[in-house]
């Protein structure tokens, strides 16, 4: 028989090290054994069982001197070592069940009462053989009996068979010496490994079979006690049977005698029962008589109650009808004081409270006479219809009077302020916000009246809103015009504004232009927002949320509810149309400020754009809807003016193409663009970066396109013009490109174009001076690549023999210092900017060395050991040149 893994001391030591590393230093290993973990369904799907190690451990608590038992599951890590995977407490073990599907009987699972999900199938453990299974189950049952004083439920295994196995394989009592070894794990912790343990092995046979033995013993004792009760001799069966028959006959005779003695008593009971039957018959006749009389009495009482209920119902109906008629008469009656207020009298401020009370009564009366608020029978009454018509006439008279008064009142207020010279004199010398406090105070007097007009007749507010907008529009436009004129006249601008490509200085600073535009926005945008919001609430547009004006206007529904409904799309559309009538035309004074600022300094459009975006992002779409549209129009105006300026600058750049003269040199706008870009960056505020970046793209594109066209006018100096201008552009824009990412893109574009032009210039100079060397190399490459000639065939081609190679080398490389001096003089003569000469000359020598290295590589491959100057030696020759 193969050696069991339970006897593997190395496995036990590995388990001890792993458990100690997981915090179980004080645990003693009772049993460790190798198993295979599976879940049944996974094996059917083709998955393999996972190797695991089950370790049964105990831990003694020093505090209460109790012993706890655990079942630990260990898995194999990537380094072939063991690491803890699962921990079960033995006190929660409720079931041990052997899987019936496994014919070998080596697979079982354990049930615990503390698992989170009881619906998930527990893992199945498969042992190597029956002995390993019995050894593990026997160990667990022993610990349960010893520590927990109870046994789990065991299914699928014969207890007798397990007990017999335990008897054959385990002595009744095993007493061994405890030996421990101290080992150190990888973490340096000391691990105690218990190799053997002094265990009082409790026989499973005794524990599990004790109930059967006790039952047999108890049955025997019962039988003995039962037989001891009879002290008769039953040695002979016939004698015992005869005795039993005699006793049965005696018992039957005794029962018959008892019945005969009780006969007189039974006769007396029968006589008494007959007498009681006669009495019961008499009582039944009396009850039938009484029942008839009671039925007649109940019928009489029911008739009396019915007549009484009918009379009470008639009385209640008459009383209710009288009360209802009284209430209806009160509804139909028009109080004379309210009638007089609604039809006659002035709308003075001191009488407004009475007008409001009369309006509230009229609204309530009309509401109560609506068909939906009355019984159908009342709604069709002639008196109700006539009274409703009377109230409608009264409402029409009041609405007409109030509408005419308010239209005239709004016009009078605006005209009074327009003709007040002292009011507009405040704008001269000091830029103050127009004060509309008195105007709003006078309007608030009639806010409640407008609310009741809307509830009585919503269409009556349309002419009132139009009249208010027309009157106040004249006042706002006059205020904006006066403020704009005073703003421009009080702003001191430089006499000579800076040119487009000139840098800014203190003498020609134009920041006051942006400040003037900022003051215009700072004063009038909040004013227009306030006026829009006040108008929306004052003219009873529903759903406009502005908590600053609600308390002043004291707006509430006629029914007394102060909740505000959401603004409908139709209501919002009407509000926007009314705001257009209120504020339309005021944008012209803003346009005048923008045009004036653009004429002083077009670059101030950048800062004005940022200011406009800041105000635009803070506006809502309800009460300030038109103000948002005004700001959007101002933004479009600023963008249009700025684009106009950029187009003019691009046009001026393109004019250089027609005015260029030789020698071309560095174009002026290539170096002055940095001044323009610096001023544009200085003016950036808020969200104007995108607009500036687009302007950069347009300007630089025009500059580079114009430069290419100018360079193409002279093919000989094409690369020279590009090199000098791109270099000048990079030198002037270097510092600014490091700070601005959008300019860095154009800087790198100029750098790439500069490198390409330098490469073309160097190649042209080298090809001109070493034309035979270069052409020889090109011919060889053409034969190899295009004609497919091999390296061995090329030396036999016409003009490419070894003698031809020696002639080319002698002609090209003899007096190479003189050739380089000629190249240097040519570059000096071509370039107008001496600062670029050193870098271009270094690049020229580098390009020559690259071409020469390729030529030497070709010679070594094709012409073998033909003498040629090495590349390193050539590099040393031209280095000091």
pLDDT given for residue 552 in this prediction:
41
Across all residues in the chain, what is the average pLDDT? 78
Q: Which residue has the higher pLDDT, 1 or 643?
A: 643
pLDDT value at 224 more than 70: no
Could you tell me which of 433, 624, 405 has the C-alpha nearest to residue 534?
A: 624
Structure tokens at 120: 């998930």
Q: What integer is the mean pLDDT of 126-137?
A: 89
What pLDDT does residue 198 have?
Answer: 36
Q: How far apart are CA 431 and CA 408, in angstroms?
A: 32
- pLDDT for 46 equals 47
pLDDT, tens digit, 9 for 90 and up, residues 256-301: 666 666 677 777 777 888 888 888 888 888 888 888 888 889 888 9
C-alpha span between 461 and 467 (Å, rounded): 10
Per-residue pLDDT reduced to its tens digit, 825-837: 888 888 877 788 8
Asked if 638 and 597 touch (Cβ cutoff 8 Å), the reply is: no
Confidence of residue 624 (pLDDT cuts 50, 70, 90): low
pLDDT at residue 485 greater than cutoff 70: yes
Closest listed residue to residue 82, CA positions, set 90, 73, 91: 73
C-beta separation of 733 from 709 below 8 A:
no
**What pLDDT score does 718 carry?**
85
Is the CB of residue 83 less than 8 Å from the CB of residue 18?
yes
Please give the pLDDT value at position 250: 74
Q: What is the pLDDT at residue 640?
A: 92
Q: Omega of the bond prior to 518 within 30 degrees of 0, cis? A: no
CA 586 – CA 521 distance, rounded (Å) = 12
Helices (H), 144-262: 159-169, 204-228, 237-261
Question: What are phi and psi for residue 38, nearest 5 degrees?
Answer: -150, 175
DSSP states of 356-370:
HHHHHHHHHHHHHTS
CA distance 449 to 407: 13
For 452-467, the pLDDT digits (tens) are: 888 888 788 888 888 8
pLDDT digits (tens, 9 = 90+) for 734-765: 888 888 888 899 989 999 998 999 998 888 88
Considering only CA atoms, which of 768, 777, 752 is closest in space to residue 851? 777
Contact yes or no for 355/449 (Cβ under 8 A): yes
Tokens of 216: 């047999």
* CB-side neighbour CA atoms (13 Å) of 108: 22
- Pairing state of beta strands 153-155 and 93-98? parallel
Q: What is the pLDDT of residue 54?
A: 92
Residue 787: C-alpha distances to residues 770, 781, 856 (Å):
25, 9, 22
What size, in residues, is the chain? 881
Residue 636's pLDDT band, with cuts at 50, 70 and 90, is very high
pLDDT for the residue 555 = 37
pLDDT in tens, 75-124: 888 766 888 888 888 888 988 889 888 888 899 888 888 776 555 668 88
First-residue to last-residue Cα distance in the chain: 94
Q: What confidence score (pLDDT) does residue 833 get? A: 77
DSSP state of 558: T
Asked if pLDDT for residue 874 goes beyond 50, the answer is yes
Instruction: Specify whether the CB–CB gap between 452 and 342 falls below 8 A.
Output: no
- Return left, alpha or beta for 14; rule: phi > 0 is left, psi -120 to 50 is alpha, else beta: alpha
| Cβ-Cβ contacts under 8 Å for 515 (sequence gap 6 or more) | 491
Report how far residue 66's alpha carbon sits from residue 59's, in angstroms, rounded to the nearest whole number: 8
The two tokens of residue 704 are 């580079």
Q: Exposure string (b/e) for 687-708, b if CB count within 10 Å is 16 or more?
A: ebbebbbebbeebbebbbebbe
């Amino acid at each position: 028989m193969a050696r069991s893994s339970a006897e593997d001391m190395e496995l036990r030591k590995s388990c001890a090290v792993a458990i100690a590393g997981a915090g179980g230093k004080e645990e003693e290993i009772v049993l460790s054994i190798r198993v295979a973990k599976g879940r049944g369904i996974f094996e059917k799907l083709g998955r393999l069982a996972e190797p695991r190690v089950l370790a049964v451990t105990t831990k003694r608590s020093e505090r209460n001197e109790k012993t706890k038992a655990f079942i630990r599951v260990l898995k194999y890590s990537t380094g072939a070592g063991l690491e803890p995977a699962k921990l079960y407490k033995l006190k929660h073990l409720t079931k041990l069940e052997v899987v019936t599907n496994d014919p070998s009987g080596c697979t079982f699972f354990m049930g615990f009462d503390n698992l989170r999900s009881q619906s998930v199938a527990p893992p199945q453990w498969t042992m190597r053989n029956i002995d390993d299974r019995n050894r593990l189950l026997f160990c667990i049952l022993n610990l349960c009996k010893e520590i927990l004083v109870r046994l789990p439920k065991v299914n699928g295994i014969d207890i007798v068979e397990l007990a017999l196995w335990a008897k054959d394989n385990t002595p009744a009592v095993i007493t061994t010496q405890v030996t421990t070894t101290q080992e150190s794990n990888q973490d340096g912790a000391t691990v105690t490994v218990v190799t053997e343990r002094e265990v009082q092995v409790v026989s499973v046979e005794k524990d599990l079979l004790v109930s059967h033995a006790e039952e047999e013993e108890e049955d025997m004792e019962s039988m003995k006690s039962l037989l001891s009760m009879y002290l008769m001799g039953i040695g002979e069966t016939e004698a015992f049977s005869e005795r039993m028959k005699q006793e049965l006959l005696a018992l039957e005779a005794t029962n018959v005698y008892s019945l005969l003695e009780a006969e007189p008593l039974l006769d007396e009971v029968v006589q008494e029962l007959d007498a009681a039957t006669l009495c019961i018959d008499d009582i039944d006749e009396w009850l039938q008589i009484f029942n008839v009389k009671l039925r007649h009495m109940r019928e009489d009482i029911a008739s009396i109650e019915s007549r009484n209920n009918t009379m009470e119902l008639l009385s209640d109906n008459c009383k209710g009808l009288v009360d209802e008629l009284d209430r209806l008469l009160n509804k139909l009656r028009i109080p004379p004081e309210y009638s007089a207020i609604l039809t006659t009298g002035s709308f003075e401020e001191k009488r407004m409270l009475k007008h409001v009370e009369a309006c509230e009564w009229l609204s309530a009366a009309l509401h109560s006479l609506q068909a939906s608020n009355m019984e159908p029978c009342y709604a069709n009454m002639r008196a109700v219809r006539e009274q409703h018509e009377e109230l409608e006439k009264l409402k029409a008279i009041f609405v007409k009077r109030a509408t005419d008064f308010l239209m005239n009142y709004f016009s009078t207020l605006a005209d009074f302020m327009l003709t007040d010279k002292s009011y507009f004199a405040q704008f001269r010398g000091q830029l103050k916000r127009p004060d509309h406090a008195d105007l709003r105070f006078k309007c608030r007097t009639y806010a409640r009246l407008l609310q009741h007009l809307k509830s009585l007749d919503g269409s009556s507010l349309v002419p009132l809103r139009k009249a208010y907008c027309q009157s106040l529009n004249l006042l706002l436009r006059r205020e904006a015009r006066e403020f704009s004129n005073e703003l421009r006249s009080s702003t001191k601008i430089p006499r000579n504004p800076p040119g487009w490509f000139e840098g800014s200085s203190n003498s020609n600073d134009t920041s006051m232009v942006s400040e003037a535009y900022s003051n215009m926005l700072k004063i009038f945008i909040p004013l227009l927002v306030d006026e829009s919001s006040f108008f929306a609430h004052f003219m009873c547009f529903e759903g406009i949320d502005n908590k600053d004006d609600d308390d002043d206007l004291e707006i509430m529904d006629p029914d007394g509810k102060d909740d505000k409904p959401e603004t409908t799309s139709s209501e919002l559309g009407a509000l926007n149309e009314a705001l257009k009538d209120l504020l339309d035309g005021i944008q012209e004074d803003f346009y005048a400020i923008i045009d004036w600022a653009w004429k002083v300094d077009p670059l101030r459009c950048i800062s004005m754009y940022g200011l406009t975006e800041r105000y635009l992002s803070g506006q809502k779409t309800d009460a300030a809807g038109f103000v948002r549209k005004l700001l959007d129009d101002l933004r479009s105006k600023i963008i249009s003016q700025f684009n106009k300026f950029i187009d003019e600058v691009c046009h001026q750049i393109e004019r250089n193409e027609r005015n260029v003269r030789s020698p071309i040199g560095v174009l002026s706008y290539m170096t002055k663009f940095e001044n323009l870009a610096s001023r544009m960056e200085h003016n950036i505020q808020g969200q104007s970066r995108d607009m500036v970046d687009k302007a950069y793209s347009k300007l630089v594109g025009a500059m580079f396109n114009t430069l290419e066209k100018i360079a193409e006018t002279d093919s000989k100096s094409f690369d020279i013009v590009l090199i000098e201008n791109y270099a000048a552009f990079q030198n002037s824009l270097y510092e600014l490109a490091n700070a601005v990412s959008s300019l860095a893109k154009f800087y790198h574009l100029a750098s790439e174009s500069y490198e390409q032009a330098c490469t073309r210039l160097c190649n042209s100079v080298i090809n001109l001076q070493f034309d035979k060397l270069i052409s020889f190399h090109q011919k060889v490459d053409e034969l190899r690549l295009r004609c497919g000639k091999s390296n061995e065939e090329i030396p036999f081609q016409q003009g490419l023999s070894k003698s031809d190679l020696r002639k080319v080398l002698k002609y090209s490389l003899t007096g190479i210092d003189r050739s380089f001096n000629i190249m240097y003089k040519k570059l000096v003569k071509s370039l107008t900017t001496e600062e670029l000469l050193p870098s271009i000359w270094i690049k020229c020598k580098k390009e020559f060395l690259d071409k020469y290295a390729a030529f030497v590589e070709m010679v070594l491959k094709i012409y073998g050991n033909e003498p040629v100057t090495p590349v390193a030696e050539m590099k040393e020759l031209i280095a000091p040149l």
